[in-house]
Amino acid sequence: MQYVPFANSLDTTRGHGTHVAGSVAGKREGADGIVDGMAPNAKIAFFDIGFAGSSGLRVPNNPSTLFEPGQDATAKIHSASWGTSSNAYGFGERFYDSFMASNDDFLFIVAAGNHGENGEGSVGSPATCKNGISGKFSFRL
């Protein structure tokens, strides 16, 4: 439905967001595909945070920037398959919680980060929000 190239419009060999989108809404064609995604008829509003060179992901400074395009496309579930190693509750997490409290038909699903299985205090922002769903569902290429 929508593609917003926030960082860039490139999908490198580490196209994690593209992989997750395929796992969610992929639809095999003919006998060439192995399996369908979990919701093969779903529509996607894709916000590409992408890589910003050696400095990692380029995430908007204003958290509302993440949700605005999807809201225009009437998206109800936001999958954020990224995270930081910072176990903090800050401005972004407060925004996500407030947004979900004000939009009770919206769900924020976020990865725990690559350290979320290492014990207490290892879940990274933004998975430290209180109203979203988080789990260790990231993968390494």
- For the segment 64-107, what is each residue's pLDDT rounded down to a tens digit? 888 887 877 788 888 888 888 888 999 999 999 999 999 889 88
Give the pLDDT confidence score for residue 90 in this predicted structure. Answer: 92
Q: Which residue, 20, 49, 27, is CA-closest to 111? A: 20
Q: How far apart are CA 82 and CA 137, in angstroms?
A: 10
pLDDT of 126 over the 50 cut: yes
Give the pLDDT confidence score for residue 75 in this predicted structure. Answer: 83
Model pTM greater than 0.85? no
Q: Which residue, 71, 57, 128, is CA-closest to 96? A: 128
| φ and ψ at residue 20, rounded to 5 degrees | -65, -40
Give the pLDDT confidence score for residue 71 in this predicted structure. Answer: 79
> Does 117 or 110 have the greater pLDDT score?
110
In degrees, rounded to 5, the angle at the alpha carbon of residue 79 between the alpha carbons of residues 127 and 135 is: 45
Q: Which CATH class is domain 2-135?
A: alpha beta
pLDDT of 63 over the 50 cut: yes
